[in-house]
Amino acid sequence: MSQIYIITGHYGSGKTEFSVNFALSLKEKHDNVMLVDLDIVNPYFRSHDAKEMLEQAGITVMAPHYAGTNVDIPVLPPEIMRIFEEKDACIVLDVGGDDDGAIALGRYKQYFDKVNYEMYLVVNTRRPLTSTPEEIIEMKENIEIASRLTVTGFISDTNLADETTEEIIMEGVSVTDEVSSATSLPVVYVCTQPGMTLSGVPSEKQFPITRHLLKI
Amino acid sequence: MEQVFKRPHALCDVPLHYCPGCTHGIVHRLVAEVMDELGIEGKTIGVAPVGCSVFAYNYFNCDMQEAAHGRAPAVATGIKRVHPDKVVFTYQGDGDLAAIGTAETVHAAARGENITTIFINNAIYGMTGGQMAPTTLPGQVTQTSPYGRDTKTQGFPIRVSEMLATTSGAAYIERVAVDCVKNVNKAKKAIKKAFETQLAGKGFSLIEVVSTCPTNWGLSPEEAIKWMQENMLPYYPLGVYCDRTEE
Amino acid sequence: MAEKVLVKGNEAIAEAAIQAGCRYFFGYPITPQTEISAYMAKRMPKIGGVFLQAESEVSAANMVYGAAGAGARVMTSSSSPGISLKAEAISYMAGADLPCVVINVVRAGPGLGGIQPAQSDYFQATKGHGHGDYRLIVLAPSSVQEIVDMTAEAFDLADIYRTPVMILADGMLGQMMEPVVFEKKESKRVIPEKTWATTGTEMKREHNVINSLYIEPNTLEKLVLERYERYKRIEETECKYEAYKTEDAEFILTGYGSVARICKNAVDALREQGIKAGLIRPITLWPFPSDAYINETKNAKAILTVEMSMGQMVEDVKLSVNGKVPVHFFGRTGGNIPYPNEVIEAVKKIIGGDK
């Protein structure tokens, strides 16, 4: 049976960088790893941008028909149905931001109901609109309504891009822990910078993120 | 001596530029009288169109904005959203409302925008010298339909009241005329009802006034009225097309 | 000190407008600025403001006219093709002396073009666009923090000078995420009361008329001359630019917005290679900082203008320099972004090989 990981969250939470890094880490232990870019919201900066690098690492990449071209039509290709038929694969679905992006999942509910999926909500408390536990829970509920699926865990990815410090990351960890208690769902990973070790977070939960996407 | 008639306060004490026999003068007066009777001049903002009535901003005593051609309902929307407690009306002709402004008109109605539109339908473009309008009748001769409006190449007239009545946001739509005393009184009642609809917050209201244009029709005022009664009223029947004021 | 948050350029514009007191936003979706509408749609109802998606960019701009004439702080935003549609309303607002803020997140053109970033609307923003004699204050941010500060400033400028103000961003800036601070700075400027607005006479004053129609030539001329007096004051007091390493620079790069960031990287790289490069970054595109090209080019032997277009700002650079120093141009178009190494190549070509 395959395992599907759906990565959602507020856009700007770090979903896409996490998805790419996560796919690469899964590849270390599994043969068949796929990354599906399901972003129907973001015209620039998407996991498709890292396609070449991921394919060289032996990861299959699937994206909307026009991703990486300069058309903004959010067409989802029929090939995506493959993810429900793959055997023994690890599939990472990078879903566009907020409920606006999560709505793309809604049409696949009948298929998701039959497979194993984990849906992780990536949280960056330094993003306005997801800085308090109440706002994060509201976002979780909106995403669940739009996708018709259930969130199974959180990824704490609080960051300020190039200005991220250990303090900022830990600030986000404490908010995400509050959300975790309130919802009885685990914090699966805490994202860190390469070379950084966080005291106070179990080491198996720490997940260093290397930035792979285009930036000026 | 008892004064039995005077200029309404909401109408400025200036000469109106309209041609003799033009119905704009009558309708301006009716709108101003309604403003006086409802006591709303101090809280009304009007939007003037591009057309013969472009100088309406000089004729009404309330605050006025001059809009680009066709855009009056959008301008009115901007005003009403900023001042929801004020009364906002547009005054438009057939080019303004039913040609270039069709989108703005339809969407203001569909949104149920709480504004009132006074629509002067005289089947022709007056200001620019008598060209065909969206409301020009089949066979009617105008500067740009010199052989008479040919429906095969120049299409059919638009019935605005019927069309807007199909939108769920419209609350009160009535078509009236001002060709005789009886109809002038009915028109005033309709205009008052439209403003009252707005005051009650019921949605979009529009009064279509079937009008004459003696100058561009090439007819005397009396002949123009007769032409209107014989030709326009059968195509644009008078009456109430939408009344959701009780809902 | 407010804490830093990570924001997308488009979101920054929306939030900064709200913090500047803007409570009315009329817009229409178009890539790459749709997030501004989406953000306003979520935020405005929560703070008692108005978000309305109009039936077209034309209608949205006319709703802005109405709201501005009624005395409100109001904004609209779009991208290149939509800004063309707004030309009429902007001309009317300039002619009626109405304050408002218009955001253009520029994409490739002409026509439907593409959705990737560009800078090919410079002429439209600073020279032409709507009909008639008028100027728009045009601001060009180069970072998300600058977008935040500039949007607040834009509303003040609009109210003080009674003119539409345009912020010319590009797709890249609109979509990029950077840490920013939203600090509610008390404006040191004096904002005049809007006694001219249509708020209802309350039977206490003469009626106010918002209008741009004046059929008597002398009347219209007088009004336009008065407006140009205000423009002159703007030129004298509101011009802004940034000069980077220009004191001893022999080669000046000049650009605005996203391109300026790229040029800065190029300047640093060139300096490491022993070439004395510097950067002039216009921040106000109108009024154009002509003086910068006299004051910051004391040692300059050449100027290279870099734009994401076929060369629009370069004409103003040439006018400012007035033949004193040769002005060259390098650009990419179609939605392509000039990368630092391309700029460095272009510089070296002009200098004539490695120094």
* Interchain contact, B66 vs C209, CB within 8 Å: yes
Instruction: Report the amino acid identity of residue C239.
Output: C
Q: Does the structural domain C5-194+209-237 have CATH classification 3.40.50.970?
A: yes
With vertex at residue C300, the alpha carbon angle to CA C299 and CA C305, rounded to the nearest 5 degrees, is: 155
* Interchain contact, C59 vs B68, CB within 8 Å: no
* pLDDT score at A128: 85
Q: C5-194+209-237 with C241-351: one CATH topology?
A: yes
Interface residue A128 vs chain C (CB under 8 A): yes
pLDDT tens sequence for chain B (247 residues): 899 999 999 999 999 999 988 999 999 999 999 999 999 999 999 999 999 999 999 999 999 999 999 999 999 999 999 999 999 999 999 999 999 999 999 999 999 999 999 999 999 998 888 999 999 999 999 999 989 999 999 999 999 999 999 999 999 999 999 999 999 999 999 999 999 999 999 999 999 999 999 999 999 999 999 999 999 999 999 999 999 999 8
Interface residue A160 vs chain C (CB under 8 A): yes
Per-residue model confidence as pLDDT tens digits over C219-232: 999 999 999 999 99
List the single residue in B43, B71, B106 with the smallest CB-CB distance to C200. B43
At residue A41, does pLDDT exceed 80? no
With vertex at residue B40, the alpha carbon angle to CA B34 and CA B46, rounded to the nearest 5 degrees, is: 80
Residue B77 to chain C, least CA–CA distance (Å): 6
SS3 state of residue B68: coil
What Å distances lie between residue A115 and A4, A112, A182, CA to CA? 8, 5, 27
Binding partners of B (≥3 Cβ pairs within 8 A) = C
With vertex at residue A61, the alpha carbon angle to CA A55 and CA A67, rounded to the nearest 5 degrees, is: 115
Q: Are C338 and C305 spatial neighbours (Cβ–Cβ below 8 Å)?
A: no
Q: Are C124 and C138 spatial neighbours (Cβ–Cβ below 8 Å)?
A: no
- Cα(C310)–Cα(C230) distance, rounded to whole angstroms? 32
Among A26-35, A43-52, B6-15, C176-185, the minimum mean pLDDT is found in A43-52
* pLDDT score at A105: 87
Interface residue A45 vs chain C (CB under 8 A): yes
* pLDDT score at C31: 83
Q: Please state whether beta strands B170-177 and B239-243 pair in parallel, antiparallel, or not at all (unpaired).
A: antiparallel
E-assigned strand segments in C198-257: 209-210, 241-244, 251-254
Contacts 24+ apart (CB under 8 A), A69-75: A70/C108, A70/C114, A70/C115, A70/C116, A70/C335, A71/C115, A72/A43, A72/C31, A72/C32, A72/C115, A74/A40, A74/A41, A74/A104
| Sequence-distant (≥ 6) Cβ neighbours of residue C161 within 8 angstroms | C99, C137, C230, C233, C234
List the single residue in C4, C6, C175 with the smallest CB-CB distance to A124. C6
ipTM reported for the complex, 2 dp: 0.89
Q: Which burial class, exposed, middle or buried, applies to C250 when counting CB atoms under 10 A from its CB (0-12, 13-18, 19+)?
A: middle
* Interchain contact, C209 vs B47, CB within 8 Å: no
Residue A1 to chain C, least CA–CA distance (Å): 38
What Å distances lie between residue C159 and A89, C140, C207, C291, CA to CA? 60, 19, 21, 26
- Cα(A12)–Cα(A213) distance, rounded to whole angstroms? 13
The number of residues making up chain B comes to 247
CATH class of B24-243: alpha beta
Is the pair A, C in contact (3+ CB pairs within 8 Å)?
yes
- Cα(C230)–Cα(A2) distance, rounded to whole angstroms? 69
| Sequence-distant (≥ 6) Cβ neighbours of residue C229 within 8 angstroms | none
List the single residue in A43, A126, A216 with the smallest CB-CB distance to C6. A126
In chain C, where the domains are located = 5-194+209-237, 241-351
DSSP string, A121-150: EEE-TTSTTSSSHHHHHHHHHHHHHHHSS-
* Interchain contact, B45 vs C70, CB within 8 Å: yes
* pLDDT score at C342: 94
Q: What's the start-to-end Cα distance of chain C, in Å? A: 46
The number of residues making up chain C comes to 355
Is the pair B, A in contact (3+ CB pairs within 8 Å)?
no
CA dihedral B214, B218, B224, B226 (to 10 degrees): 180
Phi-psi region at A101: left, alpha or beta (left = phi > 0; alpha = psi -120 to 50): alpha
* pLDDT score at C205: 96
Q: Which residues of B touch C90 (CB under 8 A)?
A: none
Regions in chain C scoring below 70 on pLDDT:
1, 353-355
Tell me, what DSSP letter sits at residue C131? Answer: S
- Cα(C281)–Cα(C296) distance, rounded to whole angstroms? 11
Q: Does the structural domain C241-351 have CATH classification 3.30.70.270?
A: no
Per-residue model confidence as pLDDT tens digits over A107-131: 888 899 888 899 999 999 999 888 9
How many residue pairs bridge chain B and chain C with CB atoms within 8 Å of each other? 131
- Cα(B31)–Cα(B8) distance, rounded to whole angstroms? 9
Q: Please state whether beta strands C100-106 and C74-78 pair in parallel, antiparallel, or not at all (unpaired).
A: parallel
Candidates C6, C116, C176, C342, partner chain A, best to mutate (most A CBs within 10 A): C6
* Residue in chain C lying closest to B40 (CA): C202
C206's enclosing H/E stretch is: none
Per-residue model confidence as pLDDT tens digits over C249-265: 999 999 999 999 999 99
Residue that is written with structure tokens 């006319």 in the block: C62
Per-residue model confidence as pLDDT tens digits over A146-188: 899 999 999 999 999 888 999 999 999 999 999 999 999 999 9
Neighbours of C53 (CB within 10 A): 14
Please state the φ and ψ torsions of residue C6, each to the nearest 5 degrees: -95, 120
Q: Are A22 and A5 spatial neighbours (Cβ–Cβ below 8 Å)?
A: yes
* Residue in chain C lying closest to A67 (CA): C115
Q: For chain A, which domains are there?
A: 3-208 (3.40.50.300)
- Cα(C120)–Cα(C80) distance, rounded to whole angstroms? 9
Q: Are B162 and B241 spatial neighbours (Cβ–Cβ below 8 Å)?
A: yes
Closest CA to C25 of C61, C88, C75, C81: C75
- Cα(B119)–Cα(B177) distance, rounded to whole angstroms? 11
Candidates C3, C4, C5, partner chain A, best to mutate (most A CBs within 10 A): C5
- pLDDT band of residue A38 (cuts 50, 70, 90) is confident
* pLDDT score at B52: 93
Q: What's the start-to-end Cα distance of chain B, in Å? A: 46
